[in-house]
Amino acid sequence: MSDTAEHATGYLLGHAALEQRRLLIQASYVRPWTARLLRRAGLTEGMSVLDVGSGLGDVAFIAAEIVGPGGRVVGVEREPAAVDTARRRAASAAFTDIVSFTNADLAEFDPVGSGAAWRPFDALVGRFVLQYLPDPAGTLRRLAGFVRPGGIVVMHDMDVSNPDVSVPRCALWNDCYALLGALFRAHGIAPDFGRHLTRVFLDAGLPWPDVDSGAMTGGKPGSTVFTWLGSAVQAVEPLLRQAGIALPDGLVVDDQLVATLERAVQESRSMVLGNTHYGAWTRLNDGPHRSERP
């Protein structure tokens, strides 16, 4: 684990309207990868699932589709605005019989003390959450204590540190992509966190995980990868300026940025990459990582 990851203090991008829009775009972009990861990790019908750092609810909804009416999904999110949005989305998608959302910090969340009948979860899942925590391994160890012996822990994280994300090289694409890694580093967050998932699992006292990785690619006109990067740069521009990170010469961050990126890639005739995804999963034994539960 790089030293920078030790200083992460919380979700970097906030929950303003522009960031919620970006999260929805990103969720659509990575949905197939997350769904495949959860199924490969062993999620199946009838399971109970704890989704941590659930944000606007997208991973919880994927889990709900997998576990079906006989299962349940509890999403935990510390930002009230995100929880409100997730609950509205669950109601509109008729998921309320399967999915519920709790407003709580992960360091304080405890389903045992909630007053409801306690039953350990079959699976713990999370996407793009561990890298924002000051103690990823310690938090993962604690949360795994809410999962039954033989249950599943699966985490989906990312890497935005790759300096070579277009072939042939498209300068504008590479420069915009590099802004994401620069912002993470400026805030003490490891931009390559996904590469460290095995170590985080082991430091948490969990069994050695399986790991899968892959990067979304694009270049074809209309590819979702353009919307992904364009919306990300739009959302983080105020944070870039606050951190003193200069924008590439000539870059104008406006509603035309997605089209500008697409045009630059077309002119370069490039294949471009989005962020690299890492998924790690393991089945728990009844080892010492598990918290004592009544």
Q: CATH number of the domain at 3-283, please? A: 3.40.50.150
Q: What is the mean pLDDT of each run of 10 residues along the chain (294 residues)?
A: 39 54 69 93 98 94 96 95 92 91 93 72 96 94 96 96 96 96 93 97 98 92 91 90 92 93 97 96 73 37
Give the per-residue pLDDT at 293. Answer: 38
CB 275 within 8 A of CB 176: no
Give me the amino acid identity at 91. A
Give the per-residue pLDDT at 8. Answer: 41
Hey, is 115 helix, strand or coil? coil
- The bridge status of strand 271-283 relative to strand 210-218 is antiparallel
Give the per-residue pLDDT at 277. Answer: 94
Model's pTM, two decimal places? 0.87
Secondary structure of 164-215 in HEC code, one letter for each residue: CCEECCCHHHHHHHHHHHHHHHHCCCCCCHHHHHHHHHHHCCCCCCEEEEEE
Tell me: cis bond preceding 168? Omega within 30 of 0 counts: yes
Give the per-residue pLDDT at 16. Answer: 56
Quote the crossing angle between the two packed helices 17-41 and 58-67, to the nearest 10°.
30
156: which residues sit within 8 A by CB, 6+ positions away? 30, 33, 34, 37, 59, 125, 126, 127, 128, 277, 278, 279
Give the per-residue pLDDT at 6. Answer: 37
Give the DSSP H/E element, type plus range, for residue 120.
none
Give the per-residue pLDDT at 130. Answer: 95
Give the Cα separation of 118 and 163 in Å (integer). 47
Provide the 8-state DSSP code for 245.
P
